[in-house]
């Protein structure tokens, strides 16, 4: 039923002032299916400027710079591991064919469930154009990590924000996804991304002792290092095409982007031969670590760390240790051990 | 004077240990008729997305009322966290709480929450028979979106007598009446959950499957439930421990025995088989065909 265009939607949604063919092409007057579908475009919003851009000009222009469209975060995330020749090969053989194919069209957030591993559950609401429907859109592409961490499906404890009825778009705005702050090379570059302190004024909230803890650690420890409540997904042994295996874990270590900060790390292991089957090697493999600073979406007011300062200061609970580092991975990982 | 004192003591013994202001299981009709009651809190424990898509008008959503802890799958949250969740849901000790799960198939999860609440010191708790499915099937009113109630000052105060931990079970292994509410095949040792270490059941345990409580997703009449317990020659005056695999199913019979049939000496073993099967001192027994 998921693909059925509902007559109510056609009557109510302003987008259907247009004929089907103005977005999908094909031949409206043909008598049989094959002829009618000739030249049809299944995913019109993959070329946003010529489709949606007719009316949503600004969004469609900036969107072509957004990470969801360029997938530049994934590309730049491994680029330093290659030398120039390898990089070229990677861009052609792996990135364009494999990584970029999971980028999002406008329709993946607004019209239909995205196709993930060849499966899709169809139109969101009889082809209505919706502002957001997170459980049928974000949840599918971010179903490996963020979504199940947030709802508690992964480890049983839902994020405090989910418990309060908040969903993804209560923190992540349309502007962030439409690329209105310009081209970005990775997610830390997105100027209008959310930050915990947009909503929480740590100078005034909570008891005196809470304010003191927050003030002391502001420069040294990320919010998530204390407030992530349970283990989150750590991947290992990632091979292009076959994916990675995953197990839960909570890992605290130095942020690869700011060694002065202790934060939550996630293992996203490009192994040495990840791209081997595409014939691409990584001469500079050890220039990047395999652990990255992450903001796992399963936060709570109280955790083993907020309850007991000694969890960090005496026991070093969850701290990354040299002996935990998976064998054969980047030597750079050693620098993240607190 | 002495006589009067004695009478008072007797009266105290005869009266149920708790004073219920609501039945343990309520119907959609009852709930609809009582939505105006100021003490009422409809606690919807389904997934947030399902709750937002449609719920009993005025219901609040609460999640995180059971969690994995200390290598056990379903445990009670820490007191402070549970206090926060209940207080933020607008619940206090004086509330009448109706727990709403998805449907009859999730009855066990509804009683798990209901047990947690009475254990935490909220005596008047009921389970909506048939869950939200029964509500919509009966064509009752539905609200969408997120609703909240004024936060209370509630602090949990655990009722130790409703709870068994491993130490308690080990100490009372011989004395207590132990009820195993898992499916027959599990009890007899033909099947077991992956996270349980031994096949079979705790020596001396009586099988009283949770599945017997409902038919077509609705709780069977009280007389029928009473008859089952009688047929198995179970005694209300004995110390009783109920367990299952991970502490969820156990709460079904705990709920019926204590809240509906008025038994007063029943504990639910939260750690259940997942916990005790790891203890080499407890050898589970299996059915043999000899």
What does CATH list as the number for B21-158?
Answer: 3.40.250.10
pLDDT attached to residue B9 = 47
CA of B19 vs chain A CAs: smallest distance (Å) = 32
Nearest-Cα residue of chain B relative to residue A301 = B81
B212-238 confidence digits (pLDDT tens): 999 999 999 999 999 999 999 999 999
Query: Which pLDDT score, from 0 to 100, does residue A233 have?
Result: 86
Percent of chain B with pLDDT over 70: 93
Q: What pLDDT band is residue B13 in, cutting at 50, 70 and 90?
A: very low
The answer to whether the CB of B201 falls within 8 A of the CB of B180 is yes
- Set of chain A residues whose Cβ sits within 8 Å of the Cβ of B52: 165
Q: Are B39 and B98 in contact (CB under 8 A)?
A: no
Quick check: B64 contacting A, CB < 8 Å? yes
Mean pLDDT of A268-287: 88
Taking the domain B161-276, which CATH number applies? 3.40.250.10
Residues of each domain in chain B carrying CATH 3.40.250.10: 21-158, 161-276
Q: Burial letters for A201-217: b for 16+ Cβ neighbours within 10 Å, e otherwise? A: ebeeeeeeeeeebbeeb
Residue B1 pLDDT > 70, yes or no?
no
Work out the pLDDT band at A242, boundaries 50, 70, 90. low
Q: Which of B48, B62, B80 sits opposite A302 (nearest CB)?
A: B80
Torsion B124-B129-B130-B136 (CA) sign = negative
A-chain residues near B49 (CB < 8 A): 135, 151
What DSSP string runs through A52-94? Answer: GGGT-HHHHHHHTTSHHHH-HHHHHHHGGGS-HHHHHHHIIII
**Of residues B273, B43, B60, the one with CA closest to residue B181:** B273
Which pLDDT belongs to residue A295?
94
Which residues of chain B lie closer than 8 angstroms to A300, CB-CB?
81
d(CA B136, CA B133): 5
Q: Do A151 and B47 count as a contact with CB atoms less than 8 A apart?
A: yes
Q: Which residue in chain B is spatially nearest to A139 when comparing CA positions? A: B49
Q: What's the mean pLDDT when you consider all of chain A?
A: 91
Q: What is the ipTM of this complex?
A: 0.81
Listed residue (A135, A169, A170) closest to A153, CA to CA:
A135
For residue A158, list chain B residues with Cβ-Cβ distance below 8 A.
48, 63-64
Binary contact (A163, B68; C-beta < 8 A):
no
Kindly report, residue by residue over B22-80, the tens digit of the pLDDT.
999 999 999 999 999 999 999 999 999 999 999 999 999 999 999 888 888 899 999 99
Q: Using CB atoms, which residue from A135, A156, A301 is nearest to B49?
A: A135
Which residue in chain B is spatially nearest to A298 when comparing CA positions? B64
A302 contact residues in B (CB cutoff 8 A): 78, 80-81
Q: Which residues of A touch B81 (CB under 8 A)?
A: 300-302
- Chain A residues 18-77 with CB within 8 Å of chain B: none
CB nearest to A158's CB, from B52, B64, B78:
B64
Per residue in B100-117, pLDDT (tens digit) is: 999 999 999 999 999 999
> Is the Cα torsion angle B127, B129, B134, B135 positive or negative in sign?
negative
B62 shares contact with chain A (CB less than 8 Å):
yes
CB contact under 8 A, A163 and B62: yes
The H or E element containing residue B79 is helix B79-88
Query: What integer pLDDT is reported at residue A240 of this predicted model?
Result: 63
**H or E segment at A233?**
strand A232-239
B-contacting residues in A 121-160 (Cβ below 8 Å): 135, 151-152, 155-158
* A163/B64 Cβ within 8 A: yes
The two structure tokens encoding residue B17 = 């240990």
User: How many other C-beta atoms can be found within 10 angstroms of the C-beta atom of residue A120?
Assistant: 16
Q: Are residues B97 and B117 in contact, defined by beta-carbon separation less than 8 angstroms?
A: yes
B28 and B130 Cβ atoms separated by less than 8 Å: yes
The residue-averaged pLDDT of A221-249 equals: 82
Estimate to the nearest angstrom the gap between the alpha carbon of B57 and the chain centroid: 24
Give the distance from residue A156's alpha carbon to the nearest chain B alpha carbon, in angstroms.
6
CA angle B266/B270/B276 to nearest 5° reads: 105
Best B44, B48, B89 residue to mutate vs chain A (most A CBs within 10 Å): B48
Please indicate if any CB of chain B lies within 8 Å of the CB of A162. yes
């Amino acid at each position: 039923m998921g693909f059925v265009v509902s007559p109510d939607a056609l009557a109510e949604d302003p987008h259907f002032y247009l004929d089907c063919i103005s977005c999908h092409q094909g031949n409206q007057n043909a008598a049989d299916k094959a002829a009618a579908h000739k030249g049809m475009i299944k995913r019109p919003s993959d070329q946003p400027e010529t489709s949606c851009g007719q009316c949503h000009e600004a969004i469609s222009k900036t969107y072509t710079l957004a990470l969801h469209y360029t997938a530049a975060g994934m590309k730049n995330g491994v680029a330093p591991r290659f030398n120039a020749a390898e990089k070229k090969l990677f861009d052609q053989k792996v990135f364009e064919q494999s990584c970029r194919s999971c980028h999002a069209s406008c329709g993946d957030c607004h019209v239909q469930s995205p196709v993930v591993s060849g499966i899709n559950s169809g139109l969101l609401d009889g082809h209505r154009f919706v502002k957001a429907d997170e459980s049928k859109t974000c949840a599918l592409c971010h179903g490996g990590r963020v979504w199940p961490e947030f709802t508690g499906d992964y480890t049983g404890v839902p994020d405090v924000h989910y418990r309060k009825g908040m969903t993804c778009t209560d923190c992540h705005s349309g502007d962030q996804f439409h690329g209105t702050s310009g081209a970005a090379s990775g997610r830390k570059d997105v100027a209008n991304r959310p930050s915990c302190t947009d909503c929480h004024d740590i100078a005034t909230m909570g008891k005196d002792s809470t304010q003191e803890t927050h003030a002391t650690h502001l420069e040294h420890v990320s919010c998530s290092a204390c407030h992530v409540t349970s283990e989150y997904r750590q991947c290992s042994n990632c091979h292009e095409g076959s994916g990675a295996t995953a197990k839960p874990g909570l890992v605290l270590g130095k942020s690869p982007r700011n060694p002065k900060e202790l934060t939550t790390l996630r293992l996203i292991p490009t192994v040495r031969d990840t791209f081997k089957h595409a014939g691409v090697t990584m001469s500079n493999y050890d220039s990047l670590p395999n652990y990255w600073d992450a903001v796992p979406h399963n936060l709570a007011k109280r955790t083993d760390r907020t309850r007991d300062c000694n969890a960090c200061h005496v026991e070093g609970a969850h701290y990354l240790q040299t002996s935990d580092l998976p064998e054969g991975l980047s030597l750079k990982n050693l620098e993240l051990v607190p | 004077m002495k006589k009067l004192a004695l009478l008072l003591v007797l009266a105290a013994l005869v009266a149920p240990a708790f004073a219920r202001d609501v039945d343990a299981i309520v119907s959609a009709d009852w709930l609809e008729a009582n939505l105006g009651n100021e003490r009422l809190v409809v606690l919807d424990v389904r997934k947030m997305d399902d709750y937002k898509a449609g719920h009993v008008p005025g219901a609040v959503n609460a999640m995180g009322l059971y969690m994995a802890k200390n290598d056990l799958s379903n445990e009670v949250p820490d007191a402070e966290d549970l206090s926060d969740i209940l207080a933020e849901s607008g619940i206090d000790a004086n509330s009448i709480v109706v727990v709403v799960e998805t449907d009859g198939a999730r009855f066990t999860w509804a009683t798990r929450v209901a047990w947690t609440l009475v254990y935490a010191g909220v005596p008047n708790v009921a389970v909506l028979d048939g869950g939200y499915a029964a509500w919509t099937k009966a064509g009752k009113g539905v609200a969408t979106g997120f609703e909240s109630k004024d936060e209370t000052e509630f602090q949990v105060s655990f009722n130790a007598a409703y709870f068994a931990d491993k130490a308690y079970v080990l100490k009372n292994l011989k004395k207590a009446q132990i009820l195993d509410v898992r499916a027959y095949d599990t009890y007899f040792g033909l099947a077991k959950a992956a996270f349980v270490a031994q096949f079979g059941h705790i020596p001396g345990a009586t099988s009283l499957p949770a599945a017997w409580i409902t038919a077509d997703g609705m709780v069977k009449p009280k007389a029928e439930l009473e008859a089952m317990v009688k047929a198995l020659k179970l005694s209300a005056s004995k110390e009783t421990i109920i367990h299952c695999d991970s502490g969820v199913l156990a709460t079904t019979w705990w709920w019926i025995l204590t809240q509906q049939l008025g038994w007063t000496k029943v504990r639910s073993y939260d750690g259940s088989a997942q916990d005790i099967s790891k203890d080499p001192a407890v050898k589970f027994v299996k059915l043999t065909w000899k």
